[in-house]
Amino acid sequence: MIEEQIDQLNDELRKVIHRFKLEYDLPVEAIIGVMDFIKADLVDAGVEFEVDFDLDDDDEETIT
């Protein structure tokens, strides 16, 4: 069920982007910038990510 909703969201976002590219003279960079702002707002609204690796991994090789 969630996969279908994700597909539907993807399709609708693509339709909106396509419509704005046709109706307005917006460069792709402007559309991407707006999408980045929306993404940042969504992340700031409380999205939590789980890190599945050790951030303090001391086993990394050092370059000398």
Of the pLDDT bands very low, low, confident and very high (cuts 50, 70, 90), residue 23 is very high
48 pLDDT more than 60: yes
What average pLDDT does the segment 22-49 reach?
Answer: 89
43 pLDDT more than 90: no
Q: Is the dihedral of CA 22, 27, 32, 34 positive or negative?
A: negative
What average pLDDT does the segment 38-48 reach?
Answer: 85
Distant-in-sequence, close-in-space partners of 17: CB < 8 Å, separation ≥ 6: 31
